[in-house]
């Protein structure tokens, strides 16, 4: 019996069949059980910020699990407090900021939904069409993709979706809105950026009417786009941000960071998580942030992103290159993204087909010249094989 048979008979059939069986990783590379090497330009969907088996992360997790792995939310631990302080610092939330820890991005979004309800229990939450916020019932309710919603109706009431245009934003009846929740860059939609000025206008309108501006920085955060958080490139301050993916470099974690008065909305006992702020996950988060700062990886994401975009422009089938930093969407001139992704995997390169015409790239923040040169060679071959 092959591993595919073992997988399909043991695992719930809720997701597509896995591409291959991976065994280990190092830096920007992973190896499957047959010893084949892959250049990983997806990084666990923007999770493995430091690549695979980074010594700083391995050391932090090993040290922490050998002393204290879990205590529940009845107790505090030093890594938990340190990571909350780190998140307040790098986000600019400062002394007024507060942090809630969960286990995933979806759990951070669930906390954001409850925060919005605290800001107006009978008011509407506004989200964007073609957005993605996770797969729990609350996060699916915010997600603006019908294909991900329809099988689970009825969803959370009081959620409206609008198009990502300033005109649609200005047409909202803001008096009835408790919060606007959006991704600064729509990752699952194919790394689609919002129109120029959209975030600033969103901030103006929400502030004017007492609605919260909550940003889903799950994929765009922790240095991925060339700044610690994508909103920092738009001269705005949100009321809250949801953080996850790259935060602990592969150890599951999620966080909701609040700014200013939004930090006072939850009262004691209104929210919690048994594993939230787990010392193992928060120690990993601290190690990731410290290594990103030590190695200058936020700047590296910006520089390498520009280098990649320049190299991608003009390749066969490439019609458009989108995104910021090392979150890049490659728009194709033909609907062959699945074919390109499969051809790349065959060549030893991991990329993601976000939809029929978009390839998503989210390599580790540690990549350098050699990995980019190898990527361009392999990706060009995959494009040529798919034309």
Enumerate the β-bridge partners of residue 33. Answer: none
Q: Is 175 helix (H, G, I), strand (E, B) or coil?
A: helix
Q: Is 180 helix (H, G, I), strand (E, B) or coil?
A: strand
The mean per-residue pLDDT over the stretch 300-321 comes to 97
Provide the pLDDT confidence category of residue 15 given band limits of 50, 70 and 90.
confident
pLDDT in tens, 254-298: 999 999 999 999 999 999 999 999 999 999 999 999 999 999 999
Enumerate the β-bridge partners of residue 185. Answer: 193
User: Which residues make Cβ contacts (< 8 Å) with residue 65, sequence separation at least 6?
Assistant: 280
Instruction: Answer with the residue of higher pLDDT: 232 or 3.
Output: 232
Is 100 one of the catalytic residues? no
The CA-atom distances, in angstroms, between 282 and each of 69, 83, 100, 249, 285 are 10, 6, 12, 11, 5
**Mean pLDDT score of the chain, rounded to an integer?**
96
The domain over range 68-295 is classified in CATH as 2.60.40.1080: no
Q: Which of 132, 259, 375, 379 is catalytic?
A: 132
The mean per-residue pLDDT over the stretch 310-328 comes to 97
Alpha helices, H only, 24-126: 43-46, 55-65, 78-91, 105-118
> Omega into 154 within 30° of 0, i.e. cis?
yes
Provide the pLDDT confidence category of residue 1 given band limits of 50, 70 and 90.
low
φ/ψ (deg, to 5) at 287: -60, -40
134 within 8 A of 141, measured Cβ to Cβ: no
> How far is residue 183's CA from residue 195's CA, in Å, rounded to a whole number?
12
Is 216 one of the catalytic residues? yes
The mean per-residue pLDDT over the stretch 313-340 comes to 97
> How far is residue 224's CA from residue 109's CA, in Å, rounded to a whole number?
19
At residue 195, does pLDDT exceed 60? yes
191 within 8 A of 360, measured Cβ to Cβ: yes
At residue 17, does pLDDT exceed 60? yes
> DSSP letter at 135?
S
Asked whether the CA dihedral 313, 315, 319, 324 is positive or negative, the reply is negative
> DSSP letter at 18?
P
Q: Give the number of other Cβ atoms within 10 Å of residue 76's Cβ.
A: 12
Q: Tell me, what's the pLDDT at 23?
A: 96
241 within 8 A of 215, measured Cβ to Cβ: yes
253 within 8 A of 64, measured Cβ to Cβ: no
- Token pair 């001139």: residue: 333
Domain limits, CATH 3.90.1150.10, in the chain:
3-53+296-385
Q: Which CATH class is domain 3-53+296-385?
A: alpha beta
- Which DSSP string do the residues of 358-372 spell out, in sequence order? EEEE---TT--HHHH
Q: Tell me, what's the pLDDT at 71?
A: 95
Q: Which of 216, 231, 259, 302 is catalytic?
A: 216
At residue 200, does pLDDT exceed 70? yes
The mean per-residue pLDDT over the stretch 40-50 comes to 97
At 102, list the tokens. 């969960």
109 Rama sector, left if φ>0, alpha if ψ -120 to 50, beta otherwise? alpha
pLDDT in tens, 123-164: 999 999 999 999 999 999 999 999 999 999 999 999 999 999
At 315, list the tokens. 């390749």
> How far is residue 260's CA from residue 136's CA, in Å, rounded to a whole number?
28
Domain limits, CATH 3.40.640.10, in the chain:
68-295
The mean per-residue pLDDT over the stretch 302-313 comes to 97
- Token pair 């699945």: residue: 338
φ/ψ (deg, to 5) at 247: -60, -45
Q: Which of 123, 186, 245, 302 is catalytic?
A: 245
> How far is residue 154's CA from residue 211's CA, in Å, rounded to a whole number?
25
122 within 8 A of 271, measured Cβ to Cβ: no
> Would you state the torsion angle of the CA atoms of residues 157, 135, 58, 224, taken in this order, to the nearest 10 degrees?
-80
At residue 93, does pLDDT exceed 70? yes
> Would you state the torsion angle of the CA atoms of residues 20, 21, 23, 25, taken in this order, to the nearest 10 degrees?
30
Provide the pLDDT confidence category of residue 383 given band limits of 50, 70 and 90.
very high
The mean per-residue pLDDT over the stretch 174-190 comes to 96
In 3D, which of 216, 167, 217 has the Cα closest to residue 195? 167
């Amino acid at each position: 019996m092959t591993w595919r048979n073992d997988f399909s008979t043991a695992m719930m059939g809720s997701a597509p069949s896995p591409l291959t069986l991976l065994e280990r990783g190092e830096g920007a590379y992973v190896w499957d059980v047959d010893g084949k090497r892959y250049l990983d330009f997806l990084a666990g969907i923007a999770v493995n910020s430091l690549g695979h088996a980074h010594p700083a992360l391995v050391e932090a997790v090993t040290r922490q699990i050998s002393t204290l792995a879990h205590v529940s939310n009845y107790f505090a631990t030093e890594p938990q407090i340190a990571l909350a302080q780190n998140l307040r610092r790098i986000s600019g939330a400062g002394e007024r900021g507060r942090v809630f820890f969960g286990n995933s991005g979806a759990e951070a979004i669930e906390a954001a939904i409850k925060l919005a309800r605290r800001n107006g229990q009978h008011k509407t939450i506004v989200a964007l069409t073609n957005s993605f916020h996770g797969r729990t019932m609350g996060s699916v309710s915010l997600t603006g993709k019908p294909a991900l919603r329809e099988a689970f109706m009825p969803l959370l009431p009081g959620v409206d979706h609008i198009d990502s245009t300033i005109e649609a934003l200005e047409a909202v009846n803001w008096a009835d809105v408790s919060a606007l929740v959006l991704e600064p860059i729509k990752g699952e939609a194919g790394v689609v950026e919002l129109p120029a000025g959209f975030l600033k206008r969103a901030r103006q309108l929400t502030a004017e009417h007492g609605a919260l501006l909550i940003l889903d920085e799950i994929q765009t955060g922790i240095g991925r786009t060339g700044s610690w958080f994508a909103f920092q490139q738009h001269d705005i301050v949100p009321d809250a941000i949801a953080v996850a993916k790259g935060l602990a470099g592969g150890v599951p974690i999620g966080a909701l960071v609040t700014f200013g008065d939004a930090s006072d909305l939850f009262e004691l006992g209104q929210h919690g998580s048994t594993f939230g702020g787990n010392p193992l996950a928060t120690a990993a988060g601290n190690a990731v942030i410290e290594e990103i700062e030590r190695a200058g990886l936020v700047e590296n994401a910006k520089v390498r992103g520009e280098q990649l975009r320049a190299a991608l422009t003009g390749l066969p089938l490439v019609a458009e290159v989108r995104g910021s930093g090392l979150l890049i969407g490659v728009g194709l001139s033909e609907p062959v993204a699945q074919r390109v992704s499969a051809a790349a995997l065959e060549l030893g390169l991991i990329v993601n087909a976000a939809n029929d015409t978009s390839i998503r790239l989210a390599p580790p923040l540690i990549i350098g010249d050699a990995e980019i040169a190898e990527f361009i060679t392999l990706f060009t071959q995959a494009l040529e094989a798919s034309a």
